[in-house]
Amino acid sequence: MPYLVDFKDVSTQGLETSPVSDALAGLRANEARYLKNKFNHDFVVEQAGDATQTIDWVHQILAEERDLHIVSKPLQAAEFEADGSQRAYVFYESGLSINVLYGLEPGAKRAAGFKLSDGMEVPEELAEKFEFARQKSKLAGTIRGSFFVIKNEY
């Protein structure tokens, strides 16, 4: 069942099995606030079982671009179009969040980003491949993030 993420009343709905569920809920709410403020988009996520196409697309990009295979179980995902870009988000049980920005026009920006919930370790599959910058968030505490540019067509 789709869930509208509320960034004013942060909830762990759908994320309860994560050992950092409160921080992951804050991270998800932080994304919802950004999308609402930047694009006036209401952020709606689905349970992973209902979003397999989105999760498969994100995993395909990670595998083909950087030979990355995420070990953690996906809990929720979202996919939508805003500002001329296809956007996808996957939230994992470990506390990891991956987002894909895929510009639809030739030459548009295309990137995959990683955000780590406060309190989680850097996943082994990412530790040696990326450096993570820190950012403070009222909703999510300290967020560590990194990204890479997508070079191929998906």
How confident is the model at residue 54, as a pLDDT?
Answer: 98
Residue 34: give the domain boundaries: 3-149
Query: What is the pTM assigned to this prediction?
Result: 0.94
Average pLDDT, the chain: 94
Is 154 a member of any domain?
Answer: no
Is 78 a member of any domain?
Answer: yes
How confident is the model at residue 140, as a pLDDT?
Answer: 72
3-state DSSP of 37-65: HHHCCCCEEEEHHHCHHHHHHHHHHHHHH
Is 88 a member of any domain?
Answer: yes
Dump pLDDT digits (tens) for 97-147. Answer: 999 999 999 889 999 999 999 989 999 999 989 989 888 877 677 789 999
Q: What is the mean pLDDT of residues 87-100?
A: 98
Q: Is the pLDDT of residue 2 over 80?
A: yes
Is 37 a member of any domain?
Answer: yes
How confident is the model at residue 136, as a pLDDT?
Answer: 81
Q: How many domains does the chain have?
A: 1
Q: How far apart are CA 146 and CA 93, in angstroms?
A: 19
Q: Is the pLDDT of residue 149 over 90?
A: yes
